[in-house]
A = this chain, B = another copy of it.
Amino acid sequence: MEQRVSLITLGVADVARARDFYERLGWRGQEVEGTVFFQAGGMVLVLWGRADLAQDSGIQDGSTDGFGGVALAQNVRSEADVDDVVTAARRAGATVTRSPAKTFYGGYAGYFTDPDGHVWEIAYNPGFSLAADGSITVPDFDSS
């Protein structure tokens, strides 16, 4: 199996509401038959009905609330950028679950959840290289 991810699909209760949230944050996507596709670097973030996603996956959907066990993160270029994105998310309707603060690894980060409870961390991490195109690279920890 190649070491890469092509799509992240977020199961949502209401595709229009979820799309509106990400568009308030400045994202632009395309909707096809009730599915929204956001190009995100070399990957795609998808919004799709949670029940449809569960059914398509062949999985029973037991609960719709609470922590799903997954967090997405966006690394940004400064502590001020963390504050700005978390503020923008709050204004777009996110719930801020951890206000931006210093982290144990010497960075600065905050967390919010989108209208369906999907978790996002916005982080400034000086230890991870962030390229102009937004791609990030894990440092070689053995030599660092």
* Cα A113 to Cα B74 with chains together (Å): 25
CB distance from A137 to the nearest CB of B (A): 7
Interface residues of A in 76-98 (CB under 8 A from B): 76, 85, 88-89, 97-98
A interface, CB within 8 angstroms of B:
1-11, 25-28, 30, 32, 37-45, 50, 53-54, 56-76, 85, 88-89, 97-98, 111, 113, 116-119, 121-123, 128, 130-131, 133-138, 140-142
Give 21 A-B contacts (CB < 8 Å), ordered by A residue: A1-B122, A2-B76, A3-B38, A3-B40, A6-B73, A6-B74, A8-B70, A8-B72, A10-B69, A10-B70, A11-B67, A11-B70, A37-B138, A38-B138, A39-B137, A39-B138, A41-B42, A42-B133, A56-B98, A69-B117, A69-B118
18 additional contacts, CB 8 Å, given A3-B39, A58-B98, A60-B66?
Answer: A1-B25, A1-B27, A1-B88, A2-B76, A3-B27, A6-B75, A8-B8, A8-B72, A30-B138, A30-B142, A41-B43, A44-B138, A57-B98, A57-B111, A58-B111, A59-B111, A63-B66, A68-B69
